[in-house]
Homo-oligomer: A and B are copies of this chain.
Amino acid sequence: MSRGRTSPGRQSESATADLGEFRFESGESIPNLQIAYATYGEFTGDNAVLVCHGLTGSQHVAGYGNGSGVAGQARAWWSDIVGPGKAIDTNEYYVVCANVPGSCYGSSGPASDSPDGDPWGTDFPPVTIGDWTRAQRRLCDHLGIGRLHAVVGGSVGGMNALDWAVRYPDDVARIVVVASAARLDPQCLGLDAIARRAITTDPNWNGGDYYGEDARPDAGLGLARQIGHVMYLSKESMDHKFGRRAAGRGGRGDSYPADPAAMFFPYREVESYLDYQGEKFAQRFDANSYLYLTRAMDDYDLSEGYESDSAALAAFEGEALLLSFTGDWHFTTEQAESLASACRRVEVPVSHHVVESDHGHDAFLVEPEKVGPPVSDFLVDGPSGRAVTDTASDNHVADDETDFAPVHSSLFSR
């Protein structure tokens, strides 16, 4: 990309839409749903691509969030994939990304102000992925977008993309579901539940009423995030990143209470990493939002209200790309394959493209050279896109050795 060049893809907007009264799936309402969003590129009527962020992401999918107080995964979290000349090319597409309701990057949520001027806290209505989708539909109306060219999402954002295909089957031509599944498995449900208990047993959580207090539930939120980080990595990536190596004491993150006997043992790199991540996260994210958003993720079940995953997808007349990663134990390749089978049963054109990667769930963020080409080609040509592979295609079934092998195309190769 040429930074100096003036092109349609360079246009971007970051704003907050007032969408009026919004009734959540729980039946509770708020008088004015605010959705913070960012757009990239120029809308031509049929080129809108909605990108759905992950659990703790923001609307700033491709940067321009520097002045907005966001950090970490919230800032330009997929700028290797989305931008001028990138796989989701903002010279071609009008990319929209919205902070989901319940989050804390400008959209209505527990930390935002209620009508009485104080933060909602835990009086904010419970939030579901269905609510995210419905809020995004409202935002699209607000922006004058009817049918979307595509909805693309990673991790829980992939569930959000799936929900679009079920809820508004005529409104989206293509969905891209990256490192996601039809539902969370009980192992991940268990870890998410533990993470929430780490927050709610922190006395500073105080029943969710800590806004304006000096003491915030940073310890609990930090622990929750540490559990999350282990879920996002893999045994292999942790071996490579940290091994059993000792880190220097007193460095970043080394601020958790410990007893004297702890000093006999090394402070390991893996601890230093987790401590630093926990501390950093507590600075950028809201503890109540973490409760709300993990519950939305845990609750999501593609088949809910239908007889099966297939039945849920039956009305969808668009096409689907599923990307999964061999080292991902948060959302496994097996779960993606099960979802692919559900698509095939109701003749939704689908490709399940498996990426060989040791990076765990994180791969969808840190392996753009493997994610970009199939996404890019699918957005243009659907499941028959050049760099798109499928587990059900003949060349894969015929050859055990190359089954699940990645396509090593270079990014921007088309």
Contact = CB atoms under 8 A, between A and B. Distances in A.
Interface of A: 26, 122-127, 183-187, 189-191, 193-194, 197-198, 200-203, 205, 207-208, 219-220, 222-223, 226-227, 229-230, 233-235, 238-239, 241-244, 256-262, 264-266, 268, 270-271, 274-275, 288, 291-292, 295, 298-299, 301, 329, 332
One complex includes copies of this chain to the number of 2
A112 to B, nearest CB: 14
Given A202-B201, A264-B26, A187 B233 contact: yes
A239 B201 contact: no
Contacts of A244: 183-184, 186, 189, 301
Contact of A274 (B183, B193, B257, B265): B193
A125 B256 contact: no
Given A191-B230, A226-B194, A201 B122 contact: no
Contact of A190 (B219, B264, B270): B270
Contacts of A200: 256-259
A191 B270 CA distance: 10
A308 B288 CA distance: 48
Contacts of A127: 261
Contacts of A26: 261, 264
SS class, residues of chain A in contact with chain B: helix
A186 B257 contact: no
Closest 3 CB pairs of A and B: A122-B259, A126-B264, A126-B261
Given A223-B197, A238-B185, A205 B271 contact: no
A261 B190 contact: no
Nearest to A257: B200
B260 A190 contact: no
A292 B201 contact: no
A329 to B, nearest CB: 8
Contacts of A226: 190, 193-194, 197
A129 to B, nearest CB: 12
19 contacts: A124-B261, A126-B262, A183-B244, A184-B244, A185-B235, A185-B239, A186-B241, A187-B234, A187-B238, A189-B268, A190-B229, A193-B270, A197-B219, A197-B222, A198-B198, A201-B220, A201-B256, A261-B292, A261-B295
